[in-house]
């Protein structure tokens, strides 16, 4: 009979894995389809055009969104303001899902679509939210009371 128990999982490692995974997906999703291949994926521009939320063109709006996603991903990977960063990333994710659902609901049934991935990203965000200490400043350190 084996009396050994497996070690307790390290919450900091779990949080780090979830946060870095979330950040890398944001970097990839911003860089590859929205910046590097914005003209190769016309369905993206069409989705933005159909939403009516763009300036000055759907392609430039996609590039700007891609830059914002890359910045958010870098912030997540770096661990700055963990709770705020995952809150913004998760709210942004819900906004993107809503825009797709409103403008191209058929994309939600695509077996290779983003909805399943997005559910995993929300779970990663929830893990980081639950495990990140409350009250961290932008540098990832607890604020001090000594002026």
Which range of residues forms the domain containing residue 16? Answer: 11-131
Q: Determine the pLDDT at residue 141.
A: 44
Dump pLDDT digits (tens) for 61-92: 999 999 999 999 999 999 999 999 999 999 98
Is 140 contained in some domain? Answer: no
pLDDT of residue 144 exceeding 80, the answer is no
Is 143 contained in some domain? Answer: no
> Which among 43, 119, 32 has a CA at the least distance from the CA of 67?
32
Is 52 contained in some domain? Answer: yes
pLDDT of residue 139 exceeding 70, the answer is no
10 Å Cβ neighbour count for 122? 17
pLDDT of residue 34 exceeding 60, the answer is yes
Is 3 contained in some domain? Answer: no
Q: Give the residue with greater pLDDT, 139 vs 47.
A: 47
Say what the pTM is.
0.81
């Amino acid at each position: 009979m084996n009396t050994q128990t497996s070690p307790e999982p390290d919450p900091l490692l779990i949080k780090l894995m979830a946060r870095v995974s979330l950040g890398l997906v944001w970097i990839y999703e911003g860089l590859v389809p929205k910046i590097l291949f914005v003209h190769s994926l016309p369905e993206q521009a069409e989705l933005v055009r159909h939403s009516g939320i763009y300036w000055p063109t759907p392609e430039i709006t996609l590039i700007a969104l891609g830059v914002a996603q890359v910045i958010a991903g870098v912030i997540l990977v770096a661990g700055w303001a963990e709770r705020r960063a995952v809150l913004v990333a998760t709210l942004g994710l819900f906004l993107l899902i809503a825009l797709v659902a409103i403008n191209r609901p058929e994309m939600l049934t695509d077996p290779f679509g983003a909805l399943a991935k997005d559910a995993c990203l929300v779970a990663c965000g929830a893990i980081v939210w639950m495990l990140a200490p409350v009250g961290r400043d932008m540098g990832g350190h607890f604020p001090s009371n000594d002026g």
